[in-house]
Structure 1
Amino acid sequence: MNLEEYQGVWVFIEQNEGEIEGVSLELLGAGRKLADKLEVPLAGVLLGDGIRQLANQVIYYGADEVYIIDHPVLKDYRTESYMKGVILLAEKYKPEIFLYGATPNGKDLASAVATDLSTGLTADTTMLDIDLENRLFEASRPAFGGNIMATILCKKHRPQMATVRPKVMKALEPDQSRQGKIMEETISLKEEEMRTKVLQIVKDVSNTANLADAHVIVCGGKGMGDYQNFQLIHEFAKTIGASVGGSRDVVEAGWLPHSLQIGQTGETVTPKVFFAIGISGAIQHVVGMKNSEIIIAINKDPNAPIFDVATYGIVGDAMEILPKLIEQFKQVLKTSGGELSYV
């Protein structure tokens, strides 16, 4: 393989019913930084049916180029059809780096493409960088239960590929004055040749709060001691109108369901305000909340790693501090008409 033939940073643009998924816009922001370091173009890869109008949005969010395959068979995501489209583009234009969102579809597609192209794939990455001296893509993720950060390289194969968790990267502000190159490719696909059919799409109608969309989160850890003490987390969250989350230890203890776990093996969140209460600050947890706008930590250990990422820290026993905070917020709510503003 002649590695010098491969140039450019690509982002797979995942779309659903004509709406671009947020993680793809976040990856355009991350891809922009990588492309600028390498001094190469950033391209978005857009597949679907009737999706040409989305190309300009991809450019507004940082892409220099957009590769489009618009075909009726690509209306709904299927591994077989999407893999054929992506491989057609990758073999023709030879990208150096290819990023995908770590969504169910993104992870499925990336693994299938990596297998067919005989290249490497780093899953669930949380940090991306470039080793300019050796022109290598550095994809980092927590390893060994979150105790270390592992940086993974793909030295001998291209493209270098990674899936990136939603909410880890930040999208750029869209710039509608940006202009780019749009290239449309054709592909031969026949519905009758597809081995799978989409019969029905069932949307999630769960009433469970989506932590990824929450503006304020109160997250408790094993430092709360036991299930009874953890009820203070619920009471505090209810008082300030926040969502409740927990660390892996809390979920494993049965205090919260897995859907409310925050961290590498749970949800990644970026709220305006994140309360980390009784949480030590292990890497495995921090990667899931470090991009919160304001982090307020409460821990009785002054040397807890959580204070390294906290905006504000309170050293003390959460079981003594939380009741006082609850009372104070109730007083504030009385004087503010029953509403809190998080600007």
Structure 2
Amino acid sequence: MELKCIGCGKCVRVCPFDAIEMNDKKAKITEKCTACGQCVEACPVKVIEKEEAKKRGVNVDEYRGVWVFAEQREGNLLNVAIELVGEGRKIADALETELTAVLLGNKVDDLAEKLVKYGADKVLYADSELLEVYTTDGYTKVIYDMIDEIKPEIMLIGATNIGRDLGPRISARVHTGLTADCTRLDVDLENRRLMQTRPAFGGNLMATIICPDHRPQMSTVRPGVMEKAKYDENRTGEIIKFTPNLNSEDIKAKVIEVVKGGKAEVQLEEAKIIVSGGRGLGNTEGFKLIEDLAKKLGGVVGASRATVDAGWIEHGHQVGQTGKTVRPTLYVACGISGAIQHLAGMQDSKVIVAINKDPNAPIFKVADYGIVGDVYEILPELIEALDNVDDIMDAFKELAK
């Protein structure tokens, strides 16, 4: 390129990554280059070329079966694992194939039995002391070896802290795609393709992504989005317990000690009652009322994205497309207008109570009960009433059943 470059600088101006520099009136491409191709189109003398790597695919007909990663911690099965078994069951039935739960751990045989009762046809149970605590290297190697041998066509992983670490490592190892943080899954039966839908551009639109040429088709799925599988005590299935080909040298980073934070994470996805605050609170002080009401009702505090962005409350409380998806039995929305991004995260709640001074707020369209008024007038009266009138408290509890 250097011998033919005319030094016009057009490539420098169009590069979005500042990856081209002018040196002695010649363009030089630096290591910042991402091969986006903008400079190729801009070059007036066509001296910049982009080498396209040949697309590598696999024989998709060799891959069959739906897998879900059954995440467990300290011998307890996470709720998202049960949700994935339920969703995986629907997908497997549509594709007329088997549903397999992938369980890694040490002496968690009871969890393997539970996964069968929840709907798995098979459980691949890797039992090892090296798998008792999650490590990226250990879990990745074991699951990669299973995928390489058995060849599933779909694998679902919960979008937890562990899942978001594990999913990309596995997908990179097997050279397939990964759609992260999905909120909906469908199947193109004709082509056996998983239609993976997730929010994009800050939740302003929903993108549906496919992986046509590589397998397995992989997704991380947001906790709380899918319905939990139903437990059936009479259900039977096959449990394949094995000792994985794993030794301590395979694990580069070892867990010496697990220290839990002093402040427990807000478990919005598991809460039966959620009281959420929105921009209508006006400031962070409004969340004191939200906390008081949540405490009276035996619930937890939620929030809209606007309040999190404003710094009024931590991100762990955020409900919506870019926060957490919840489906409690009672959801109380205080000062929340009802933007589509927020509604997408809570509209499946069993009972929705909305408090807003704007009678035309979109939240009232999904609410089962609406109160038009100022939250600073209504919430104190409601809290006082809950202190003094047992009947009102019983009524709210009845709604939450």
Cross-structure match for 2:25: none
Q: 1:127 aligns with which of 152, 163, 184?
A: 184
Q: Over residues 254-299 of structure 1, what are the superposed CA-to-partner deviations in whole Å (9 max), with x where a residue is unaligned? A: 3222332223333343322111122232343234323322222233
Name the CA shift for 1:63/1:193 in 2 (closer, same or farther; >3 Å): closer
Cross-structure match for 1:261: 318
Cross-structure match for 1:40: 97
Q: Distance in 2 between matches of 1:272 and 1:72?
A: 39
The answer to whether structure 1 residue 88 and structure 2 residue 139 are counterparts is: no
SS at match of 2:302: strand
Q: 2:327 aligns with which of 270, 294, 297?
A: 270
The answer to whether structure 1 residue 165 and structure 2 residue 222 are counterparts is: yes
The answer to whether structure 1 residue 138 and structure 2 residue 195 are counterparts is: yes
Q: In structure 1, what residue type is equivalent to 2:151?
A: K
Name the CA shift for 1:108/1:295 in 2 (closer, same or farther; >3 Å): same
Q: Over residues 206-265 of structure 1, what are the superposed CA-to-partner deviations in whole Å (9 max), with x where a residue is unaligned? A: 256543443322101112333455554344334444322211111222322233222333
Q: Distance in 2 between matches of 1:333 and 1:219?
A: 23
Task: Give the structure with higher Rg (CA).
Answer: 2
The answer to whether structure 1 residue 150 and structure 2 residue 207 are counterparts is: yes
RMSD of the TM alignment (CA)? 2.6
Cα pair 2:203 2:322 within 8 Å, conserved:
no
Percent identity of equivalent pairs: 50
Cross-structure match for 1:220: 277
The count of aligned residue pairs is 343
Cross-structure match for 2:245: 188
Cα pair 1:333 1:340 within 8 Å, conserved:
no
Cross-structure match for 2:51: none
CA displacement at 1:35 relative to structure 2: 1.0
Q: If the length of structure 1 is used for normalisation, what is the TM-score?
A: 0.89
CA displacement at 1:73 relative to structure 2: 2.0
Gaps in structure 1 of 5+ consecutive residues: none
Name the CA shift for 1:138/1:3 in 2 (closer, same or farther; >3 Å): same
Q: 1:17 aligns with which of 74, 77, 80?
A: 74
- Most deviating of 40-49 and 182-191: 182-191
Q: Over residues 33-60 of structure 1, what are the superposed CA-to-partner deviations in whole Å (9 max), with x where a residue is unaligned? A: 1111111111101112223342211110
CA displacement at 1:328 relative to structure 2: 4.3
Name the CA shift for 1:336/1:270 in 2 (closer, same or farther; >3 Å): closer
Cα pair 2:386 2:392 within 8 Å, conserved:
no
CA displacement at 1:97 relative to structure 2: 0.9
Q: In structure 1, what residue type is equivalent to 2:273?
A: V
Q: Distance in 2 between matches of 1:336 and 1:67?
A: 47
Q: 1:176 aligns with which of 226, 230, 233?
A: 233
Name the CA shift for 1:303/1:127 in 2 (closer, same or farther; >3 Å): farther
SS at match of 2:353: strand
Q: Distance in 1 between matches of 2:395 and 2:208?
A: 48
